[in-house]
Structure 1
Amino acid sequence: MLFLARLVMKSSSFSSPTIVLITDRTDLDDQLSAQFTNSKGFIGDNEVVSVESRNDLRVKLQGRNSGGVFLTTIHKFTEDSKLLTDRDNVICISDEAHRSQVNLDQKIRITDKGVSKTFGFAKYLHDSLPNATYVGFTGTPIDATLDVFGDIVDSYTMTESVKDEITVRIVYEGRAAKVLLNNSKLKDIEDYYNQCAEEGSNDYQIESSKKAMAQLSTIIGDPDRLKALAEDFVKHYEQRFSEGATVAGKALFVSSSREIAYQLYQYILALRPDWGEVRAADPLAILSEKDQKEILPAAKIQMVMTRGKDDDKSLYQLLGNKAYRKELDRQFKNIKSNFKIAMVVDMWLTGFDVPFLDTIYIDKPIQRHNLIQTISRVNRKFGGKEKGLVVDYIGIKKQMNLALAQYNKVDSQNFEDIEQSVVVVRDHLDLLSRVFLKFDSSGYFEGSPMQQLSTLNMAAEFVQLTKDLEKRFMNLVKRMKAAYDICSGSEVITQEEKNQIHFYIAVRSIVYKLLKGEAPDTAQMNAKVRDMIQAAIESEGVEELFKLGDDKQKEVDIFDEDYLSKIDKIKLPHTKIKLLQKLLAKAIDEFKKVNRAKGVDFSKKMQVLVDKYNERKEADVLVSNVLEDFTDEIIDLYHQLRKEKDSFKDLGIDFEEKAFYDILKALAVKYDFTYPDDRLLTLAKEVKTVVDDKAKYTDWSKRDDIKAELKVDLIILLAENDYPPVDRDEVYKEIFEQAENFKKYKNSGSM
């Protein structure tokens, strides 16, 4: 919409048009208003206004011949039927052009007071702006959309969106047969869908549909079926959660009616009473001060739907009022909230975006554009989310194919089936077994906890023999894991296969920890592996592998001799080298926060060693003295850094003053001029004093006035001390960078 608004505003054909943006929900209006208000420069018009009423819009349009962007909801056009403007350079852009924006038909109501004739919102809109150009945006155009807005001008399919990495693929898992105790009832559901295939509005069709739906509700709401559904849902959800196959454990469960949803909700709580307990936040979440203010206590599973005056008292209280539902909306959209599972009927199925929502369970007959809107809740992109999962408890596979074929014509393979993920997992297990053909992993599957841990460590060592082998292994496991996240709840994957999967994931977790510092795959390891590591990890000295990079371990002194001796206990050469690399990298990063110049020098030296290790020859991978040389060189550089860190003591200055001394001396070498050492020491102290004085304000780095004063004071100080004796702007620039680097980390408490 923003791009279209920009194009038409800049088009000479429209002579600077007036744009009216129309939504059918207040929250969408607020969302668009924020986006357009923040994009005035991009659009090319400074007047972007949300109108409060139809009369407000009329006032704003009167006397206006061009320009202006006005946002409103479709419902405001029922306030009266007077003409707003007959100008032809008005462009109405409608969002969600498959709902209330297309109802032009007359409605007749017969009451005791006579016949009442009304029209839909769209009719009043078109009568108000008779010469306007109408443009509609929708992901699911229906026949009425084309009748009102004309032919499709441009389309962007779900397949294209996935290829562009705007959304993720949708995966289908059918579980209807697991909860329909009489599988012949699937035929009744299919008949209902067929009956609804041809949409119409005559009395016969409406009455026939009601009867079919009543029969269908009896099938869906059967108590024995709902008990089986509750058991399968709980098992499936917990399996995915325990495997770490879901980003945040958020799930939508779509029921066919409020009554059926409430029965199912009670059956679920009977199985898992703790899901109904109100808790402050996700027990696994680490809360910031802001989180503690925003996250409210909530139960894990909640029903989100409107309540009726005839509801049972307990149901009425459970559902709450509009304000309560709005708060539920906010809590579900908070990744750290304890509110994980939302049971819905009609709410939250359209225009409800939660990027980390990755699973939707459907137990409601849905078809066509409504089905596309519903399953699209799980295709939003989020870090760590590979795909969105649709779990079908009602038999919607055929309807999904029909709907996706209608709205996604560029690709015959509209969605990925769960079976495809199973195939991917097994293919990668086969490839990984070939990689490990010469490695004996039996100790992991048959040995004691100590033998299991030793096997994991040896396996991590094995895949690090060469850089190519390590890269191949890591990529294979990553792809296998992405597929397993989707099919982990399937009974098709055998326990033996799961054990193999967890073995490879556990090995990758160790190697990943060495490479990156945090191992997201740890959650994928089964309980046996986790317990084993906790029980035995300390014996081999590899507890440092799991501590390094952990925020909770910041108090560890990495320059302590005892710390280095712990790492020296590790007998696996490749693991030891990687851990020493991490140790040195962390030490250099900490040093660089104070002394930028020397820190950069050490970074370059370390990179030479890392490149040398990664480019080692195939013939050298098993030669022990080659690996020992690498280890010795890293340890030697580590000690050089440690010595440099304490070198300020010999000069009679402090650690921070030494940072400025080093930059001043390095610049003299770089730009080939001489400057006495004793004067360098004095100048370094004075530079630090100036920096301290100007940077005493916590927000100094954001204030251009203070930064400008700092630069002026430094230039004067350097000039007074005849530094540099040659006029080079680069000298001042590098000193300023060191000053900003120094104060940035000192003020943030990182030093």
Structure 2
Amino acid sequence: MTGITENILEQTCLEWLAELGWTVLHGPDLAPGMPGQEREDYRQIFLLDRLRDALTRVNPEVPSAGVEEALRRILAVGGPDIVSNNRAFHRLLTDGVDVEVPSLDGYGGSRHLKVWLLDLEEIDNNDWVALNQYTVIEDNKNRRADVVVFVNGLPLSILELKNPGDENATIKHAFNQLQTYKKDIPSLFTGNELLVISDGIQSRCGTITSGWDRFMPWRTIDGESVAPKGIPELETTIRGLFERRVFLDYILNFVVFEDDGAKIIKKSAAYHQYWAVNKALGCTLSACGIDAEASRLFGRFPAESNPWQVAEPTTHYGKGTPHFGGKRIGVVWHTQGSGKSLSMTFYAGKVIRHPNMNNPTLLVITDRNDLDDQLFGTFAGCKDLLRQSPVQAGSRAHLRELLKVASGGVVFTTIQKFMPDQKGDVHPLLSDRANIVVIADEAHRSQYDFIDGFARHLHDALPHASFIGFTGTPIERDDRSTPAVFGEYIDKYDILRAVEDGATVPIYYENRLARIELVESEKPRIDPEFEEITEGEEETGRQKLRSKWAALEAMVGAEKRIALVAEDLVAHFETRLEAMDGKAMIVCMSRRIAVDTYQAIRKLRPDWHADDDTAGTMKIVMSGSASDHTDWQPHIRNKAGREALAKRFKDPADELKLVIVRDMWLTGFDCPSMHTMYIDKPMSGHNLMQAIARVNRVFRDKPGGLVVDYIGLADSLKRALANYTASGGRGDATIDQEQALAVFLEKYEIVRDMLHGFDYRSVVSGPASGRIAGLTRAMEYVLALKDGKKRYLPAVSTLTKAFALAVPNPKALVLRDEVGFFQELRAALVKTTGDEQGKSPDDMESAIRQLVSRAVASTEVIDIFAAAGMEKPDISIMSDEFLEEVQALPQRNLALELLKKLINDEIRSRSKKNVVQARSFAEMLEQSVRKYQNRAIETAEVIQELIRLARELREAGKRGETLGLNEDEVAFYDALADNGSATQVMGDEKLKMLAMELVLRVRQSVTIDWTLRENARAQIRVLVKRILRQFGYPPDMEKKATELVLEQAEVLCKAWAVS
């Protein structure tokens, strides 16, 4: 039976694309010198003839001179920065190319036209091509992409595939390969809109700036249901995302470049965002009285127009039109951390650019200034998609001015700015246009006071507007007013799906109340009728009106209690940091408590404090004024100061690890490296759900976030979860940390049981001087087990992640040093036996930390050669002295693994130059190891065999000197001499001359991609046969020799072709 290979996966992928209407071509057939040539050389990225033909076909009103000018503009995109080039190309793709051509009036003037790169309505008017094995050479770097898809000659997507049958060919390797391509052949990425990596079973999508943790799955074909588990993810990705109309919609409407002034990040929609936004657009059109089915989502437009600007509306937007506006669009509920702000941006872009929306005005409302700033920042960073810069209303007067415009605009405001001039007044009418869409962030009754408050004023001001809500938490069960304003759910994306997709990580919950030792009278009690006040209300003194809040605040903020919380919290956080690098947030009940908590921690860790905002490990983020206490003033900053702190906190490498907040940064704030939240403030409902979601962001290998409860949130969490479940949500909002402990203990037992019979605890508890020797004995023990190394390495990796989630539970901490030893043993096995490939930069920046055992003062890296008292060998030499040292090692299994590693490494190196020699030694190594595994020989015997093999391998490397041949010639000589009779018939000297002639002639004849083009291979095969006959090579062995020579040439041809 023939196994699955990467080629089979590639062909299957191309078949799926062909079924969707893509034309499948073999990349080498379009290469230079081929009958079907479409490229002048391998530096040419675009398929120029196809691009020129498409520009002419899509823009029939543009004369040829205009098409050529557009072509020049497209090809001129380039520069040293790959992301800037990509952004410039994307603008041409979405906005078209402006060209100047002679006017038609005959007076010698000129006119300006727009040249579009794609036909958005007649998709068959575009040229759809999928190419495999697409070779690009840039700066002497030769790379070949598996599948590249072209639309109108533009390379818009790359699919990098790995063999599903090879356990070492993972999608992570495909990701790393794309990073290599970006470095070596950056021109291929100028026009790229989408990257796909897959091993057939798993599949992930990302952009040119996406890190490994931001490559996400595409799990639906039709947008209605998640594909069943039995369907390969690559098939779902191809059929769901590369359906041609979806593909165009996606690359034009669901790609943004977030620019914060420091760097540009390219982001694209996840599948749940894409489908939710398109559903929301359909609901918006319906709410506005537009036939969503008949309305154009794509379209070809006259040359002088912009397809994203408004054509004549199909329905009149008149004043007071009864069936327009004042309508409920619905609510999009996507769990926190799954990209809600970006979904709102994509939605805004589609509504703005829909021609039948007639240049609408979008009003984005939040309930707090800091949320307004955060969401505004997201929209402002994506202004390319919106084709305009959003505007933030600074006051009520400014808001009214912005909304009195005749059309257009994206306006941000807080709901509080919709207050009438006098209490009890009706808000004045600002606009009775119906193409106004109000987008509410976190649409909840408690946020907007829909019955009697701000929402009524909003309706008075904009009576015919349509309303849509976006929320990260479900609407409360007893909330009837929110659906009355916005409508029912449009789309749901719950915690279960978000965690399964890798869009978020699970949140664990730890109750630390018992750690705060207070007498009953000193313990805070949260009244069910307790009503929280906001930071702004506290600042204005309104807390005096609420005696329950004031009384509870006094107990929570008692000096003794704060000192106890601070002491426990510092120890807890430091333990967390030992296991996992990252950040934490403390949530306090009042600004006073926040400041007092800061001072209590400062007493314990004075070096965490710094007067300068550019330094220090902890900071407070809160509002305030000049009239506040003098002790508070160092912590009160203006907007720019808070933004500077946010930038520091979001930087994983910055020393700012801990922030203390009251209300700020609890919603909408995104810091992926934050893994712990300490809550010492009564919270409930969606406010609680929003706050704890700060720790659910994906970051490197972070396994989960942790919420630590110092106030008693268990009941509030239960009520929030009950509402979440009743609303149709699946998955746990939080998971009790005891479950994480249980998982850790289970994984610990697996590793411990593997070492049953080896007294590792004596090594852990013994003196540092005996640590290395003990580690060496442990390695010997694991290597003696059946598949010991193969089972041990992944078991400890899983244990390490489980430990990071379980700490600082005392039951986990008591095993800390043992876990540290297990990790050290794993690292030593990897280093010594070389079973894992080199780590990528992302792996090197892992959030999970290697524990430094308290039992060892030294931090030296274990080197098994040093442990055995040996010099580290020059592997390419493998001297007799070194081999004798290995032979003398008392740890026989370790000696065997060392020899296997050294010989394998050398064989791997030889295989890149000499196929026959590498194959011969690999067979000898495999035969010796198999005899040992079958217990046909003992450890001592197999060591002797491998030492002998190592010496033969060493001597084989010197054969060129003896034969008078260079490395390439020796490789061809070995291919010819593989037939023993050839040397007898021809003689050694003639065989050497034949090898030299073959190297010379074949090297002159090979071209890039000759191995992929059967006609080119045939030409080389004919050449080899002709030379073999000229030299009188035995005809009965000619066929085998020819294939061996061709195989050897394939190994060497890359270096030959480039040089």
Contact 1:588 1:599 in 2 (8 A): no
Contact 1:78 1:124 in 2 (8 A): no
Once residues 744 and 820 of structure 2 are traced to their aligned partners in structure 1, the CA distance between those partners, rounded to angstroms, is 12
Shift of 1:277: 4.7
SS in 2 for 1:510: helix
Shift of 1:376: 0.9
Deviations 1:52-101 (A, max 9, x none): 47777887847xxxxxxx754245996985337325xx766554334898
Contact 1:157 1:407 in 2 (8 A): no
Seen in structure 2, the aligned counterparts of structure 1 residues 676 and 443 have a Cα distance that, compared at 3 Å, is: same
Aligned to 2:594: 261
Once residues 147 and 336 of structure 1 are traced to their aligned partners in structure 2, the CA distance between those partners, rounded to angstroms, is 47
Deviations 1:237-293 (A, max 9, x none): 122223xx22x23111111122111111112111111112589xxxxxxxxxxxxxx
After TM superposition, list the pairs within 5 Å mapping 1:517-666 onto structure 2.
523-529=850-856, 531=858, 540-541=867-868, 559=877, 561=879, 571-580=890-899, 583=902, 596=912, 598=914, 602=918, 609=925, 613=929, 617=933, 619=935, 623-625=938-940, 627-628=942-943, 631-632=946-947, 635=950, 639=954, 643=958, 647=960
Once residues 535 and 2 of structure 1 are traced to their aligned partners in structure 2, the CA distance between those partners, rounded to angstroms, is 49
TM-score, normalised via structure 1 length: 0.69
Deviations 1:1-43 (A, max 9, x none): 44334456699526137615646434434435656846xxxxx
Contact 1:58 1:84 in 2 (8 A): no
Aligned to 2:168: none
Pair 1:13-2:293 in alignment: yes
Seen in structure 2, the aligned counterparts of structure 1 residues 390 and 508 have a Cα distance that, compared at 3 Å, is: same
Aligned to 1:436: 755
Deviations 1:107-163 (A, max 9, x none): 5xxxxxxxxxx7678537853x53x46353433434354332222233222133223
Aligned to 1:504: 822
SS in 1 for 2:855: helix
Aligned to 1:240: 576
Deviations 1:507-541 (A, max 9, x none): 23323444336798872141323628669977524
Deviations 1:165-195 (A, max 9, x none): 3222211111122225224554x4232x454
Aligned to 2:669: 352
Once residues 29 and 99 of structure 1 are traced to their aligned partners in structure 2, the CA distance between those partners, rounded to angstroms, is 22
Aligned to 1:165: 502
**668, 672, 686: which one pairs with 1:369?**
686
Aligned residue identity for 1:457: T
Seen in structure 2, the aligned counterparts of structure 1 residues 105 and 446 have a Cα distance that, compared at 3 Å, is: closer
**216, 225, 241: which one pairs with 2:552?**
216
Contact 1:255 1:362 in 2 (8 A): yes
Deviations 1:650-703 (A, max 9, x none): 7687x8xx59x9799989x9xxxx996555565799899xx9xxxxxxxxxxxx
Aligned to 2:314: none
Aligned to 1:66: none
Once residues 538 and 467 of structure 1 are traced to their aligned partners in structure 2, the CA distance between those partners, rounded to angstroms, is 24
Aligned residue identity for 1:265: Y
Seen in structure 2, the aligned counterparts of structure 1 residues 624 and 344 have a Cα distance that, compared at 3 Å, is: same
Contact 2:915 2:1048 in 1 (8 A): no
Shift of 1:48: 4.3
Aligned to 2:375: 28
Contact 2:669 2:694 in 1 (8 A): yes
Aligned to 2:660: 343
Once residues 953 and 460 of structure 2 are traced to their aligned partners in structure 1, the CA distance between those partners, rounded to angstroms, is 76
SS in 2 for 1:331: helix
Pair 1:152-2:489 in alignment: yes
Once residues 120 and 180 of structure 1 are traced to their aligned partners in structure 2, the CA distance between those partners, rounded to angstroms, is 49
Pair 1:3-2:330 in alignment: no
Once residues 439 and 502 of structure 1 are traced to their aligned partners in structure 2, the CA distance between those partners, rounded to angstroms, is 16
Shift of 1:198: 14
Once residues 631 and 124 of structure 1 are traced to their aligned partners in structure 2, the CA distance between those partners, rounded to angstroms, is 88
Deviations 1:708-738 (A, max 9, x none): 9xxxxxx9xx99xx89989x9xx99999997
After TM superposition, list the pairs within 5 Å mapping 1:326-337 onto structure 2.
326-337=643-654
After superposition, the CA RMSD in angstroms is 5.2
Seen in structure 2, the aligned counterparts of structure 1 residues 362 and 539 have a Cα distance that, compared at 3 Å, is: same
SS in 2 for 1:136: strand
Once residues 212 and 579 of structure 1 are traced to their aligned partners in structure 2, the CA distance between those partners, rounded to angstroms, is 71
Aligned residue identity for 2:295: S
Contact 2:509 2:736 in 1 (8 A): yes
Once residues 404 and 1050 of structure 2 are traced to their aligned partners in structure 1, the CA distance between those partners, rounded to angstroms, is 57
SS in 1 for 2:954: helix
**409, 412, 415: which one pairs with 1:73?**
412
Once residues 996 and 864 of structure 2 are traced to their aligned partners in structure 1, the CA distance between those partners, rounded to angstroms, is 52
Pair 1:307-2:624 in alignment: yes
Number of aligned residues: 640
Shift of 1:222: 0.8
Aligned residue identity for 1:261: A
Q: Which stretch shifts more, 12-21 or 396-405? A: 12-21
Aligned to 1:712: none
Shift of 1:369: 0.6
Aligned residue identity for 1:163: E
Shift of 1:221: 0.9
Shift of 1:607: 9.6
Seen in structure 2, the aligned counterparts of structure 1 residues 93 and 13 have a Cα distance that, compared at 3 Å, is: farther
Shift of 1:373: 0.9
Aligned residue identity for 1:3: W
Aligned to 1:426: 745
Contact 1:169 1:388 in 2 (8 A): yes
Aligned to 1:86: 434
Task: Name the structure where strand makes up a greater proportion of residues.
Answer: 2
Q: Which stretch shifts more, 270-279 or 323-332? A: 270-279
Once residues 123 and 359 of structure 1 are traced to their aligned partners in structure 2, the CA distance between those partners, rounded to angstroms, is 41
**790, 804, 808: which one pairs with 1:485?**
804
Once residues 913 and 826 of structure 2 are traced to their aligned partners in structure 1, the CA distance between those partners, rounded to angstroms, is 36
Shift of 1:220: 1.2
SS in 2 for 1:160: helix
Once residues 470 and 806 of structure 2 are traced to their aligned partners in structure 1, the CA distance between those partners, rounded to angstroms, is 38
Shift of 1:636: 5.3
Aligned residue identity for 1:523: Q
Q: Which stretch shifts more, 482-491 or 353-362? A: 482-491
Seen in structure 2, the aligned counterparts of structure 1 residues 133 and 259 have a Cα distance that, compared at 3 Å, is: closer
Contact 1:103 1:123 in 2 (8 A): no
Seen in structure 2, the aligned counterparts of structure 1 residues 589 and 198 have a Cα distance that, compared at 3 Å, is: same
After TM superposition, list the pairs within 5 Å mapping 1:30-49 onto structure 2.
30-32=377-379, 37=384, 48-49=387-388
Once residues 557 and 124 of structure 1 are traced to their aligned partners in structure 2, the CA distance between those partners, rounded to angstroms, is 81
Aligned residue identity for 1:256: M
Pair 1:231-2:567 in alignment: yes
Once residues 737 and 870 of structure 2 are traced to their aligned partners in structure 1, the CA distance between those partners, rounded to angstroms, is 38
Once residues 278 and 467 of structure 1 are traced to their aligned partners in structure 2, the CA distance between those partners, rounded to angstroms, is 59
Once residues 478 and 368 of structure 1 are traced to their aligned partners in structure 2, the CA distance between those partners, rounded to angstroms, is 37
Seen in structure 2, the aligned counterparts of structure 1 residues 603 and 392 have a Cα distance that, compared at 3 Å, is: farther
Seen in structure 2, the aligned counterparts of structure 1 residues 742 and 532 have a Cα distance that, compared at 3 Å, is: same
Aligned residue identity for 1:175: R
Seen in structure 2, the aligned counterparts of structure 1 residues 217 and 539 have a Cα distance that, compared at 3 Å, is: same
Shift of 1:505: 3.3
SS in 2 for 1:190: coil
